[in-house]
Amino acid sequence: MLIGASTTFAHDFFIAPSDVIKQRLQLCKNLNARQTIKTVIKDDGISGLYRSYPVTVVLNIPFTAIVVCANENLKTLVKPWER
């Protein structure tokens, strides 16, 4: 479970900024990704790209921890046939 939780921190570190950019692009049809990134950084700084990071991590940790734990337990339960 700890491995699943720790990988969530790293994964969401890269996903959170892309989600912010995606949401801004959906709201403003006349911008492109570069303009959106520049606008977010100019208005809010780099932290503006990571505004949703804490919420994203808190929501994803339980799911990822359960998936990794279940996967590891199922691998030991259902072993492939050895030839």
CB 4 within 8 A of CB 10: no
H helices, E strands: number in the chain: 3, 0
Residue boundaries of the structural domains of the chain? 2-77
pLDDT digit string, tens, across residues 5-39: 888 889 999 999 999 999 999 988 788 889 999 99
pLDDT digit string, tens, across residues 35-79: 999 999 999 999 999 998 999 999 999 999 899 889 988 888 887
Tokens describing residue 83: 């030839």
Question: What are the two backbone dihedrals, phi and then psi, of residue 64, each rounded to the nearest 5 degrees?
Answer: -65, -40
pTM exceeding 0.85: no
Closest among 42, 20, 43 to 33, alpha carbons compared: 20
CB 1 within 8 A of CB 73: no
